[in-house]
Structure 1
C-alpha cells in the first residue's frame, strides 16, 4: 500500500502522543540520552561495531540506496526528498536482502523485542533535514555513527541542545521534539538508526504496542523498495 505511517489517523495519534509524553515527563523529558539509561540491550550491537561498519561500507559500495520519497512521498515532502535510507527491519518485517547485506544489524533487530525499526541513514554533502518533529511519540531513536566527516562535522539540533556524531559512538534521541540536521561537510554522513519502544508504565506500553502493531501494514513499502536498488 502507499500511504504514510507518519501521517495516518491524526486525531488518534494526537491522543496517544499526549498519553505517551505525559508518561515520559512532558516538557521536562530528556532530549539527548546516554544509551545505557534507556536502551542497554544495544551494547550487544556496539561490541560488534567493526563487523557492522564493514557491512554498511560494503552496502554503500554495492548498491544505490533509495531516497525517502521512494517509501513515503507524503512525509518526504515535509522532511527531505534527498535523504537516503536502507531499511533492514520495519515494524517487525524483515528485508530479506538484509540477511546478506546487513546480517549483524538484522540479527540484533530480530532478536531484541523492543526494536521497532532498524535502517541505515545517509545524508549527502549539503543535504539538510529542516526543523521537524517525529509525529509518533511512542518511540525513542538510537543513532550510531558509521561514517562521520571530520571536516566541518555534521550535527543535529534537538530542541535547544546539539549533538555531533562520532564514529562508533551511540546515543539515544527523543525525536518527538523539534530537531534538524545540518551537513555542511563535503562528505556524506552515514549512521545506523534503531527505533525502539519508549519505556513507559504498563498501560501506556500496552497502548504503544497496539498502535505499532496497527502500523505493520505500512512495512512492506519500506522493506520492498530496498529490494529493487540498482546495482553498480
Structure 2
C-alpha cells in the first residue's frame, strides 16, 4: 500500500521537476535570442525567412526522386494508426499539436538515425544521408482541417526544408506562413526556410497533407559553425532533446511490432482453407 506521505513526496518531486524544466526553457529562450543575431551575421546564404533553393544544389536529388519518396511513405501510411503524433514524441509540442491531427514518422533525430524506420524508406534514407550536416528528418502528416498555431524554431544555425509529396487538390488552401511570406506546397516541389521566424500552417481542405521535412546546418563562417555546434551539443543535454530521443526509440519499436502483426495477419488470410 502506498502511504499518503509517499504520494505527497512524489507530487513534490514532480512539481520541482516541472519548475526546473520551465526555468531551463526560459534560460534557453534567452540564450537563443542572444545567439540569433550573431548566427545571422555569420550566414553565407543571407537571413531571409524563405531561402533561395539555388544555394543548396543537393536538394535537386529530392525533386528528381520525389515520386519514389512519396511511394515509400504511402507504404508506411498503410499502418497509419501506429505512426505517433508529434506531441507523443515531443511533449514540448503539445501547444501546437492536438489530438491525432499531426503525425510524424521520424527517420533522423538530431543526427541520430532510427535504423528500423529508415529501413522502411531506403531511397529516402539514402538521399538524406547525402545532405551536408543533416540534423533531423521526418515525414509530417497533417490531417484535414487542422491549423498549427504560430511558433518559432530553436536555432538560427539550422535551416528547414519541406518537400511536397501528397498535397490537397486545392493547394492554395493548404499553406505555410513564414513571417509575412506564404508558401504553398506542390507535389515534387521543395523550399527552404528559417524556422526561427514566426510560422504557422493551415490545412483548410478535407484532404491530408504529407511532406518530407528535414533540417540541416545553415552554411556559416567558421565562428558561426563553432558556436552553433556548441549550442546543439548543449541542447542534447536537455529534456528538450532527451525526452523525444527516448520516445522516438519507443515508437520505432511500436511501429515495427505493428507492421509485423499486420504482415502476419495478411499471411493467415492468404493461407488456403482446409477442411
Of 209-218 and 177-186, more deviation after overlay is shown by 209-218
Give the structure 2 partner of residue 107 of structure 1: 126
Q: Give runs of ≥4 in structure 1 deviating > 4 Å.
A: none
**Structure 2 counterpart SS, 1:213:** helix
Residue 16 of structure 1 pairs with residue 41 of structure 2: no
Residue 41 of structure 1 pairs with residue 58 of structure 2: yes
CA RMSD across the alignment: 2.5
Distance 1:72 1:61 in 2: 23
Of 46-55 and 161-170, more deviation after overlay is shown by 46-55
* TM-score, structure 1 as length reference: 0.86
CA separation of 1:222 and 1:110: change in aligned 2, threshold 3 A: farther
Do the aligned residues in 2 keep the contact of 1:84 with 1:121 (CA within 8 Å)?
yes
Give the structure 1 partner of residue 169 of structure 2: 150
* TM-score, structure 2 as length reference: 0.74
CA positional deviation for 1:150: 0.8
Give the structure 2 partner of residue 87 of structure 1: 106
Instruction: Flag the structure with larger Rg.
Output: 2
**Structure 2 counterpart SS, 1:214:** helix
Question: Could you say which structure has the higher helix fraction?
Answer: 2
Do the aligned residues in 2 keep the contact of 1:93 with 1:223 (CA within 8 Å)?
no
Higher relative contact order (CA 8 A, sep 6+): 1
Q: How many residues align?
A: 226
CA positional deviation for 1:84: 1.1
**Structure 1 counterpart SS, 2:129:** helix
Residue 199 of structure 1 pairs with residue 219 of structure 2: yes
CA positional deviation for 1:172: 0.5
Of 192-201 and 106-115, more deviation after overlay is shown by 106-115
